[in-house]
Structure 1
Amino acid sequence: MYSTISVLFLRSLIIDRHIEIVEIDYLLRRPAAAIERELTIQKRVVSLFAMKKKLERLPTDFRFILKWSQSFSHYNNLIYKNGQQPFLDNNCTFRNCYLTNDKGLITDVTFFDAILFDVENRWDPHPIERSQYQRFVFVGAESAANFPICAKIYNDYYNLTWTYKLDSDISNAYLNILDKNGTIVGPKVDMTWIKPMAATPDEVTVKIAKKTKAAAWFVSNCNAKNDRRVIANHIREALMAYGLDIDIYGWCGKMVCPKNQFSECLQLLQEDYYFYLSFENSDAEDYVTEKLLHAVMNYAVPIVYGGANYSRFLPPGSYINAKEQDAISIAFAINEAMKNPKVYEKYFRWHNYYSYAKAGEKAEVCKLCEVLNSPPTFTAKKDFKDWWNTKGTCKTTI
């Protein structure tokens, strides 16, 4: 195992020269059966604490939030800072929340108002004691296909969900869709789009008029579970009939784009490429990452591939879905757009009404504190296993 860790560490030093961080699963995982035993015991003993006297709290008292998983302490994490600072920094309406990794900060773990659990963490034992007044929060930024919940024991376990899924209690989407007033209007489950749409604005047609290359793809994980590389190769083969190709940057291709020059690479995408492969590394509902932003924020048409319903994220007629079209039809569409500027311009009509941006952190952090200032009730999410899963990812059902 240590030799494996050493190899991955050395590779991480090298990969920093490229544009994407390598997507590696955690090496250490506890058996699902061990987790099931813990949670079964907890469900049995939680009733013993149902009559535990509730702490007397003033409305202005701190809401203490325990980060059960050490992974929340990574500097790239949204809530890596401890204390009250994240809520002050984001100017939240409710700021009386306090984050900590210290399980002994207060006398009893059942007195924490909320405990955050990371979906990627499979080694820390779950707490046995549980108060009926505290929230157990499921936090998931990574794909449910890569980190599925296969045990039924999680049903009725978590009170709140904080994930990229659009029906989560606290949204952790990777992107925002804004109207022309700068108001966030999506993505959302019941997303509606303005139609019909007017012709593409003149300033956009000028930007896209000088493009010369068919498509680009920035990628470093060559062995994604959903075989996205196979799909990309099929499209490349189909494009050969038109004398076109896909320029692949990173570990999986011959083109190089240093990570510290990523903004220059995106500028190259904006100026030269008609299309961009916004391929996710796995298929999961609503799992749409910054890969889509590379295209829509840089005047390239996204060719998407993933498990999401993309009508929640993109206006109709603005993209090509490689899950719904075969390689030959995609290559034909690329060639037609490159030959006929009017055809290509139609992909960008949405610019009259919408814009895209990377999702901010304020809404998520503030929502957490807001929820904890509402009356505490134990309403765990039913059928959680079916909610956080992707068909076929669980080989067995516990």
Structure 2
Amino acid sequence: MSQNAIELKDIAVETKQNGNGLSKLRCAKFLLICLLIDVIVAIVLFGSDVTKFTELLPNFPLFDLLVSRREKKTILVWNSAHRIETSGFGFGYKPFVQHRCEVSDCILFDNATLSVWQPLESYDAIIVNMHELWESPTTMPIDVYVLGNIFNWTMTYRLNSDVKLLYGRIEAGPTAPKTSEETLKMIERTRLPSSKNYATTKTNLVAWMASHCETNGLRETYVQQLQKFIPVDIYGECGNLTCPRNDHWISYPECYTMLEEKYKFYLSFENSICTDYATEKFFEVINRNIVPIVYGGANYSQIAPHHSVINALDFTPEKLAEFLKMVDANDTIYNEYFWWKGHYQVEAGIDQMTGHAFCDLCKKLHEEHNVTKYYPEVETEWHADKHCKQVISWETNQSSTISN
């Protein structure tokens, strides 16, 4: 059994032996009394307007717990709370209000600073960050075979997760078509002279931005083959081009702005071809005025509007190059890929990822707190051999081959 699994299974034992934490709690008794006096005075002043009161308090979950008049579910981030998928939401009670959660009666704690205040068994949920679990199974450093009978719920990018932690989502608006016939009519409207021409400012064909140059999905091999037939401008560590402050997609969107102004197509290539695995490489791009060429294991027909992306796995590199040349030569055909703009809403980025996930978790805790569930094993859903594929050949004179 790995050390990680031993530590996870020892959580319950550690809870009972958490004498040091309780000792620290007693040492903080005087501080708590002082805080409680302040809270009582504030409640007298503000009455039931707890939200207004908490806005005046430090962003410290203990205050939220002390002033709570209604039952609040407590959530503890057991480890690695600094990671962006947790810290991007924020801690305490206020983030649930700020994100306008349907059910906001929850408090999120960081174990690194607040585990001394409550014993583990008092929390309604404990989030164990598996470090790379939000990435694909091919990059997960933990032996999933030893993780049985530990977890009750999952919170990942997989669409069948108990709580979805998605890199992005595309929602149909009120004017989105309801049938395939309506979709075809909307596509036809892009051919009208009055329709927007998305190709006007674009002088280059294909761009790709990447920092991981050797991947499990062999996307770099596909790109190398594609370059034999059409030019591909490569930004980042895998190429010789740079763009404004492109060191991290979360903080600096300037690069994507430059790309959508200059290029017609972008290679939204995932580093792994795994079930449901669609990251910011896709959602950040489809949110722009550029056509994404996808390469991954997600069902893009399920998560994206019809005729909005080009799937590289439907082509050999040579055939894809021929297809892109054809679309590039005809603005009418190119503009059809943008028919859906204005009818669908794209959400991308950390704020939406964490907002949806923690709001859903809070709601689920209130609705299903008496439901008993656990996973006897997780390898069925999380072993790379079961849910990831590797392209083993990109010969241009034959169809692409994919095998487990």
| TM-score for the superposition, normalised by structure 2 | 0.69
1:376 to 366, 370, 373: 370
After superposition, give the CA deviation of every residue in 1:207-255 in whole Å (9 maximum; x if it has no partner). Answer: 323422110112222222222111111111122xxxxx11111111111
> What letter matches 1:281 in structure 2?
N
After superposition, give the CA deviation of every residue in 1:19-60 in whole Å (9 maximum; x if it has no partner). Answer: xxxxxxxxxxxxx533445567789999xxxxxxxxxxx993
2:233 to 226, 247, 270: 247
CA distance in 1 between counterparts of 2:102 and 2:288 reads 34
CA distance in 2 between counterparts of 1:194 and 1:382 reads 46
CA distance in 1 between counterparts of 2:275 and 2:269 reads 14
Residue of structure 2 in register with 1:207 after alignment: 198
Task: Indicate how the Cα distance of structure 1 residues 200 and 292 shifts in structure 2: closer, same or farther if over 3 A, else same.
Answer: farther
Residue of structure 1 in register with 2:3 after alignment: 34
The Cα shift of 1:320 comes to 2.1
> What letter matches 2:324 in structure 1?
I
CA distance in 1 between counterparts of 2:373 and 2:181 reads 34
Structure 2 SS opposite 1:259 = coil
Task: Indicate how the Cα distance of structure 1 residues 254 and 389 shifts in structure 2: closer, same or farther if over 3 A, else same.
Answer: same
Structure 2 SS opposite 1:237 = coil
Task: Indicate how the Cα distance of structure 1 residues 357 and 88 shifts in structure 2: closer, same or farther if over 3 A, else same.
Answer: closer
CA distance in 1 between counterparts of 2:255 and 2:312 reads 24
Residue of structure 1 in register with 2:396 after alignment: none
Residue of structure 1 in register with 2:161 after alignment: 168
1:96 to 100, 105, 109: 105
**CA RMSD, 1 decimal:** 3.4
Structure 1 SS opposite 2:137 = coil
**2:244–2:254: 8 Å Cα contact kept in structure 1?**
no
The Cα shift of 1:171 comes to 1.6
Residue of structure 1 in register with 2:120 after alignment: 109
2:184 to 171, 177, 196: 196
Give identity over the alignment, percent: 29
CA distance in 1 between counterparts of 2:312 and 2:69 reads 52
Structure 2 SS opposite 1:208 = coil
CA distance in 1 between counterparts of 2:84 and 2:384 reads 29
The Cα shift of 1:197 comes to 4.7
Q: How many residues matched?
A: 321
**1:148–1:388: 8 Å Cα contact kept in structure 2?**
no
**1:197–1:349: 8 Å Cα contact kept in structure 2?**
no
Q: Does 1:65 align with 2:75?
A: yes
**2:149–2:377: 8 Å Cα contact kept in structure 1?**
yes
2:335 to 325, 339, 345: 345
> What letter matches 2:2 in structure 1?
A
Answer with 1 or 2: which has the greater Rg.
2
After superposition, give the CA deviation of every residue in 1:356-397 in whole Å (9 maximum; x if it has no partner). Answer: 221624332222211222332320135422112322799xxx
| Structure 2: stretches of 5+ with no match in the other structure | 16-67, 389-404
Residue of structure 2 in register with 1:49 after alignment: none
The Cα shift of 1:290 comes to 1.4
**2:144–2:382: 8 Å Cα contact kept in structure 1?**
no
1:253-292 alignment runs, 5 A limit: 253-259=239-245, 262-292=252-282
CA distance in 2 between counterparts of 1:182 and 1:221 reads 39
CA distance in 1 between counterparts of 2:161 and 2:220 reads 30
After superposition, give the CA deviation of every residue in 1:122-172 in whole Å (9 maximum; x if it has no partner). Answer: xxxxxxxxxxxxxxxxxx422222116643342343111111111212121
CA distance in 2 between counterparts of 1:44 and 1:325 reads 54
**2:211–2:238: 8 Å Cα contact kept in structure 1?**
yes
Residue of structure 2 in register with 1:4 after alignment: none
1 or 2, which has the higher helix percentage? 2
**1:68–1:115: 8 Å Cα contact kept in structure 2?**
yes
2:147 to 151, 154, 165: 154
Q: Does 1:142 align with 2:135?
A: yes
> What letter matches 1:233 in structure 2?
Q
> What letter matches 1:96 in structure 2?
D
| TM-score for the superposition, normalised by structure 1 | 0.70
Task: Indicate how the Cα distance of structure 1 residues 277 and 211 shifts in structure 2: closer, same or farther if over 3 A, else same.
Answer: same
Structure 2 SS opposite 1:216 = strand
> What letter matches 1:98 in structure 2?
I
CA distance in 1 between counterparts of 2:329 and 2:106 reads 57
Structure 2 SS opposite 1:160 = coil
> What letter matches 2:90 in structure 1?
K
The Cα shift of 1:78 comes to 4.3
The Cα shift of 1:278 comes to 0.2
The Cα shift of 1:200 comes to 4.9
| Structure 1: stretches of 5+ with no match in the other structure | 1-31, 47-57, 122-139, 186-191, 240-244
> What letter matches 1:33 in structure 2?
S
Task: Indicate how the Cα distance of structure 1 residues 206 and 297 shifts in structure 2: closer, same or farther if over 3 A, else same.
Answer: same
